Amino acid sequence: MLARVWAATRQGVDGQPVEVEVHVSNGFPGFTIVGLPDAAVRESRDRVRSALLSCGQRWPQRRVTVNLAPSGLRKAGPGLDLAIAVALLGAQGVVPPGAAEGLGFVGELGLDGSLRPVPGLLAMVLCLASCVREGVVVPAGAAGEAGLGVGQRARPVPSLGVLIGVLRGERRWPPLAGLAATQGRSGEAAGGAGPWGEADLAEVRGQQLGRRALEVAAAGRHHLLLVGPPGSGKTMLAQRLPGLLPDLDREAALEVARVWSAAGLRWGEEGLPRRPPVRAPHHGITAVGLVGGGADLGPGEVSLAHRGVLFLDELGQVAPATLQSLREPLDEGVVRVARAGVRAVLPASVLLVGAMNPCPCGEGLPGGWCRCRPAERARYLQRVSGPLLDRFDLVVGVPKVPVDELLSRAEGECTATVAARVAAARARAASRRAGPAGRDGLAGWSASARALLERQLRAGRLSARGAGKVAAVARTVADLGAEDEVGETAVAEALALRAGLGLLAPGGRW
Q: Cα–chain-centroid distance for residue 82?
A: 28
Quick check: bond before 70 cis, omega within 30? yes
Label the pairing between strands 224-227 and 394-397: parallel
Query: 376-418 pLDDT, tens per residue?
Result: 988 999 999 989 999 999 999 999 888 888 888 777 889 999 9
Angstrom distances, CA of residue 312 to CA of 44, 256, 505: 40, 20, 20
Q: How far apart are CA 37 and CA 44, in angstroms?
A: 10
Q: How far apart are CA 471 and CA 486, in angstroms?
A: 9
Q: How far apart are the first and last CA of the chain?
A: 74
Query: 256-275 pLDDT, tens per residue?
Result: 999 999 999 888 656 889 99
Residue boundaries of the structural domains of the chain: 2-167, 185-195+248-356, 200-226+361-510
Architecture of domain 2-167: 2-Layer Sandwich (3.30)
Q: Are 487 and 448 in contact (CB under 8 A)?
A: yes
Q: How far apart are CA 255 and CA 241, in angstroms?
A: 21
Q: How far apart are CA 248 and CA 100, in angstroms?
A: 37
Q: How far apart are CA 237 and CA 210, in angstroms?
A: 7
Mean pLDDT, 10 residues at a time, the chain of 510 residues: 94 94 93 95 96 95 96 92 97 92 96 96 94 93 90 93 95 72 38 61 89 96 95 92 94 94 82 92 95 88 96 95 95 89 90 94 82 90 91 93 82 91 95 63 86 93 90 95 94 93 59
Q: Are 232 and 141 in contact (CB under 8 A)?
A: no
Determine how many CB atoms are found less than 10 A away from the CB of residue 233.
21
H or E element that contains 34: strand 30-34
Q: How many helices (H) and strands (E) does the chain have?
A: 20, 16
E strands of 70-114, at which residues?
Answer: 103-105, 108-109
Q: How far apart are CA 426 and CA 96, in angstroms?
A: 57
Q: What fold is seen in the domain 185-195+248-356?
A: Rossmann fold (3.40.50)
In this prediction, residue 187 carries a pLDDT of: 37
Are 2-167 and 185-195+248-356 in the same CATH fold?
no
In this prediction, residue 440 carries a pLDDT of: 52
